[in-house]
Structure 1
Amino acid sequence: MITSRREKIIGRVILVVLMLVTVLPFVSIFVTALHEPGSYPQGIEWPETPHWENFGLAFQSADMFRLLGSSMLIELGVVPAAVLLATLAGFGLGHLRPVGARAVFIVFILGLTLPFEGIITPLYFQIRDLGILNTRWAIILPLIGLFMPFAVTWMRANFATIPRELSEAARVDGATTWHLFWRIHVPLSVPAISSLAILLFLWTWNQFLLAIVLVADPAQRTMAGALGAFQGRYGTDIPLLCAGSLLILTPTLIVFLVFQRKFVSALLQGSLKG
């Protein structure tokens, strides 16, 4: 009983420490954003006169409405296509398991070890040769491909845990492979598909490297990528830069808070199945 109580105390202490480590940087950025523009705040110090207008100034200076529209266009180009392709591939590798499926899966596993930074130079020349450099397609198409290793692995793990007896019973009733996929496996995989869509949305929204390397016009980048241009313009104005960073970060926090239950339920469901 003493050991159990001690474990609970240690667990709670670890959770509190992790929470502080996670929250303190956001608190520091928020407090810094309220200081007088052009100043250099020292540490986490609440200003005597909070400058809430910094958020409005950053919103107007960065042209957030235009950046929001650009980010949403990129999201609409990346997330639905990546989720659809990953779901189809995951169903094939995890349930149908054709000849060579294991070798293909190993290739996707190897793709998980490939960092974006390691391919950015050849990717730049390839995008240039395709004639889509400095367009949103230069972000959309590479992201779909780069997300595939994780997305396919995620969906394969989900489809592999669905009992094969369901498919066998449906085959007896005359169901085709498409009917198995669309009417049986996809409804059972809604938690995994929705959680994957949330992850891809967050990763696309926060994509910075591809945006600044492959697209020169900040108005056609993601909001995170446009932060590079904003930083170059207001790099010496720390409070304004922090205000702009928080504005760019806010949509991802809202999405995560709204859909966190579905995301956690998908993870728990996968752990129970595994």
Structure 2
Amino acid sequence: MDATALRPPRLALYLDLIRWNRPAGWLLLLWPTLAALWLAARGFPGWHLVIVFTLGTILMRSAGCCINDVADREFDRHVKRTAQRPVTSGALAPSEALAVGAVLAALAFVLVLTTNALTIAWSFAALGIALAYPYAKRLVAMPQAVLGVAFSFGIPMAYAATRNEVPAEAWWLLAGNLFWVLAYDTEYAMVDRDDDLHIGIQTSALTLGRFDVIGVMAFYAIYLLAWAWLGASAGLGWPYALGLGVAAGQVVWHYGLIRDRSRDGCFRAFRLNHWVGFAVFAGTAADFFLLR
């Protein structure tokens, strides 16, 4: 039998390429972006912006997966968890994966065009950071920090779309959110520590060494404290504090998952991290709904 006959249909390969069956990735981007929309609008921002930023987040995360898989295809061959990705396994050509990513990014840009000039301008910066991240691990000791900027850039864009300006509050929120990304992506890097060391790429888990667990918890603490301070500055009350408290409770649970550095525990902590972001968003939305 021809080996090509055993390959999955093209649509199945494309869905695998963009991690369609693993929504945790785009949820990690979505919750802080939606929280920023509510904070920027000081309440419900309207269905137009909610739809634009939700669909845009899904599309851009999917496009990022295409770019990342092409950039990392030689590394991914040596990692058991990633060896069967469509580009790495040869089921999809790199050029085809990039074409899929380009179409998805173009669709996201069409959505941005329905906002305002400032948001459109910032979208080019967001795209540039997304393109740079896959190559950061070759140059930067903690490439998760670059990912943190990329995964947090929906925050200033939300302010741009809502207020037609990007105030200091937006950048402080981005800085705080960056530490959340550092926390959960270090957990992710802890899963592949041995493979990454063998391959020779740089990650925060390798850079932190035996201080990785302490580092993850410190990153979580900075994130929660930063968003608590910013929420207090914005006049948010007990619903927001409750959301942060629920997020903090999950962080304590994650410590139990990662403290022995087991692959399964670290991967589970990473995979469930979107619930931390959801708790913060739910607290933000509930605060404006209940107290305004």
- Name the TM-score, length of structure 1 as normaliser: 0.27
**Greater RCO, CA 8 A, separation 6+:** 1
Structure number with bigger Rg: 1
